[in-house]
Amino acid sequence: MKRWTLALTLLLAMTGALAAAAPAGAAERQRCFPETGYCVSGAILRYWERNGGLPVFGYPISELRIETVENWTGPVQWFERDRLEDHGSVGVLAGRLGAQALEWQGRPWQSLPRPTSVPRGCRFFPETGHALCGKFLEYWQRNGGLMRFGYPISEPMTETLANGDELWTGTVQYFERRRMEYHPELAGTRYEVLLGLLGRDMYTALSDRCAPPAPFLGPTTRAYPDILGCPSAFPKLAVPAASQRFERGAMYWIANTSTMPWQSGNIWVVFYDNARGSLVWQLHPDYWREGEPASAGLTPPPGLFEPIRGFGKLWRENPTIRETLGWAVEPERADTAVEQYFRGGAFAIYRMNSDRIYIMKPDGAAEDIQRIR
């Protein structure tokens, strides 16, 4: 009996010594990415690896941190294409970035057009009133469906997006958590449907980080750092525009990309201010609508023109602008524009037809320069 007691005592002592020598817990595995300088670990790393990794989520662009998202507070990490949220016992969930991105751009999904009929072979979702068809439906079904992407919150539509320093125009569809992009030039490959960089765009929009300069604006942004500074997310890319030169200035119209029905766009008025010794700018909403009179039937002096539509309405209803600009010296001309806001209060507007850029400074001064390449 004494021998057994002694053996038990020695065994317990050895066990205690081994326990004391062992680490409190094995070091948690992590993966670090020199491309962005951030690491991923724990439940979010396991989710990232099991559900597609780099092609699906992109690189991490933030550390793991505590955030409050739609009345929930917990660990969150941002990736180029997603925001992953660790909900503990519930598991890791992807953020509702598709809905957030549309809201941020002034076009909430509830305001987007819905189908009047659903083609055969498509799936209709009464929860949002939208349908899912073709390649987008195939990708949705193969890659996680409702849990991964949420419900569709738009119909397929044509959008122009930034692809580095270039523009890409194609078919996209928004979901609660993602944006899918269809690339027919990559048909038959795993990249025929790609997921948009909504993580990068929303992280930039919600933080103090700088967004990439919009296509055509990169060299100019770098040449004017003190004036322009930090680009904001979601620039207007290749949107309809129009220009008209006047005796003492110009008007430039840029279409509104939001779904506000009362404003089709904005009109920039640019003229030379003798008191300041520089070009200056004013910004006015365009309230003219199709169906309203296009002109007042005025008779301009020979060789000059009465402005029409939105330009004409602003010119007629604002005596100061009319007296400052004078008559138009040419008809209104259609154009295409890229517009980006900078967080210090400046705007850069690239006018594609003339290959020139307006720099609208925060103090109201303006510059009209040839695009820097």
Tokens encoding 248: 């003492």
236 and 363 share one domain: yes
Lookup result for tokens 């509702």: 96
Evaluate whether residue 274 is within a structural domain. yes
312 versus 165: the higher-pLDDT residue is 312
Tokens encoding 134: 């073709």
59 and 145 share one domain: no
Q: Are 97 and 84 in contact (CB under 8 A)?
A: no
Using a pLDDT cut of 70, give the percent of the chain over it.
91
293 and 164 share one domain: no
197 and 223 share one domain: no
Residues 6+ apart with CB under 8 A from 268: 251, 252, 253, 254, 281, 282, 283, 349, 358, 360
Entry pTM = 0.85
Q: Would the pLDDT of 67 be above 60? A: yes
184 and 138 share one domain: yes
Query: Per the structure, how many domains does the chain have?
Result: 3
pLDDT band at 15 (very low <50, low <70, confident <90, very high): very low
pLDDT in tens, 332-371: 999 999 999 999 999 999 999 999 999 999 999 999 999 9
285 and 353 share one domain: yes
Strand, helix or coil at 32? strand
Choose one of 206, 238, 272: the last residue of a domain. Answer: 206
Output the pLDDT for position 103: 93
Helix (H) or strand (E) holding 255: strand 249-255
247 and 355 share one domain: yes
Output the pLDDT for position 208: 81
Q: How far apart are CA 106 and CA 102, in angstroms?
A: 6
Q: Would the pLDDT of 24 be above 80? A: no
- HSE-up of 317 (CA within 13 Å, CB side)? 13
What's the one-letter identity of residue 185?
E
332 and 251 share one domain: yes
Give me the mean pLDDT over the 204-209 stretch: 88
Evaluate whether residue 68 is within a structural domain. yes
What's the one-letter identity of residue 18?
L
Choose one of 176, 206, 236: the last residue of a domain. Answer: 206
Write the DSSP string, 128-182. Answer: TTEEE-HHHHHHHHHTTHHHHH-SB-S--EEEEEEETTEEEEEEEEEBSS-EEEE
Q: How far apart are CA 109 and CA 226, in angstroms?
A: 37
Output the pLDDT for position 230: 94
Evaluate whether residue 14 is within a structural domain. no
Evaluate whether residue 17 is within a structural domain. no
Helix (H) or strand (E) holding 84: strand 82-86
Alpha helix (H) residue ranges in the chain: 2-21, 42-50, 53-57, 97-104, 134-142, 145-149, 198-206, 218-223, 309-317, 319-325
232 and 317 share one domain: yes
Q: How far apart are CA 218 and CA 204, in angstroms?
A: 17
Give me the mean pLDDT over the 37-66 stretch: 95
Evaluate whether residue 120 is within a structural domain. yes
Tokens encoding 322: 């009319």
Output the pLDDT for position 70: 84
Output the pLDDT for position 78: 97
Backbone φ and ψ of 90, nearest 5°: -75, -30
Q: What is the mean pLDDT of the chain?
A: 90
- Expressed as residue numbers, the domain containing 169 is 103-206
264 and 349 share one domain: yes
151 and 244 share one domain: no
Q: How far apart are CA 203 and CA 3, in angstroms?
A: 68
Evaluate whether residue 279 is within a structural domain. yes
Q: Would the pLDDT of 262 be above 80? A: no
Q: Would the pLDDT of 154 be above 70? A: yes
Q: Would the pLDDT of 227 be above 50? A: yes
Give me the mean pLDDT over the 183-192 stretch: 92
288 and 362 share one domain: yes
Evaluate whether residue 21 is within a structural domain. no
Evaluate whether residue 193 is within a structural domain. yes
